[in-house]
Amino acid sequence: MTLLPHGARSEYLDLDGGRVRVLRGGSADAPPLLLVHGGSNDNAAISWYRMFTEFGSDHSVIAPDLPGFGGTVGIEPLGGPAAQADFLSRLLSGLGVERAVVAGVSMGGDVALNLARRHPDRVRALVLIAPGGLGDRVGNRFTHRAAWWAARMPDPLLFRFSALANRFVGLALRAVVHDVSTMPPEVVAEFRREGRRPGASLGYLRYNQANLGPHGMRNDLLPVVGEISTPTLFFHGERDPIVPLRGSRRAAELMPDARLVTVPECGHWAQLEAHDRFVEETRAFLDTVGG
């Protein structure tokens, strides 16, 4: 049985020839809050497990599974963040939502930034947790070249390696989270379950294939991120082993209306690892933007 967060209900939207699972919470008449999950074995219920009870009292909370993730079926994974941002714009139209506060974690932060850049009228404010898309390469040039070659492997080999890696999702979780004891047991169980799902990681594989160039990242927004004037809160763990803090720090400096909150002794899933701090900072930020 898949995880359903407290305060959430599961709905399906027919879109792009498939069915999109959307977790909904709160009142439909309240200001919309769109939550965009991350990559790997993530889905809307995992990244946003605690957010429906926290924000459902004063927001209409909307958390879709992107194509290739979770319970969304019948739509091929979209690859890069620009295509995923356009998909979210269509999804908002399908839900009858004109404008929303958008929160995104990791890959979802990359998608949220692209949504604000490509469809600025859709985004009232941004809350970005360790967002991707703010770096020119993966590690050093040798690490990046190796990652690029790996992403170019034929699908059968990629799927075989992914399936093998997903047998050790517990180790993967420890490589992402600074202190696993901060994670709700239900989230850990769903993360393991998602890793065993047929087709798991396909959405993230396509995202990486779209973004990894031979010499650098194709999705690096730092050269243009200063054009995004949307009010933005960056929230980043200081012990993040996946997405370097320097990207969020530099983007917060370049954007005209952005601030950065860093959390000590916290890894990549900062909204889960430092839940109370995240809710406090997000509420304070939303108060300033009227969201």
C-alpha to C-alpha distance for 94 and 103, rounded to whole angstroms: 19
Pick from 36-45, 173-182, 228-237: least confident: 173-182
pLDDT digits (tens, 9 = 90+) for 98-152: 999 999 999 999 999 999 999 999 999 999 999 999 999 888 888 989 888 888 8
Residue 121 within any structural domain of the chain: yes
CA distance 202 to 67: 9
To the question of pTM greater than 0.85 for the whole model, the response is yes
**Burial (Cβ within 10 Å: 0-12, 13-18, ≥19) of residue 277:** middle
Question: What CATH number did the domain enclosing 139 receive?
Answer: 3.40.50.1820
Surface-to-core class of residue 86, CB atoms within 10 Å of its CB (0-12 exposed, 13-18 middle, 19+ buried): middle
Q: For 190-239, what is each residue's pLDDT tens digit?
A: 888 888 787 777 899 899 999 989 999 999 999 999 999 999 999 999 99
Q: Which has more pLDDT, 29 or 175?
A: 29
Is residue 162 over pLDDT 80? no
Residue 3 is assigned to a structural domain of this protein: no
Checking if the pLDDT of 170 tops 80, the result is no
Q: Which residues constitute the domain of residue 273?
A: 9-289
Is the Cβ–Cβ distance between 79 and 210 less than 8 Å? yes
Query: Average pLDDT of 252-260?
Result: 97
Q: Is position 222 within any domain? A: yes
Q: Residue 203: inside a domain, yes or no?
A: yes
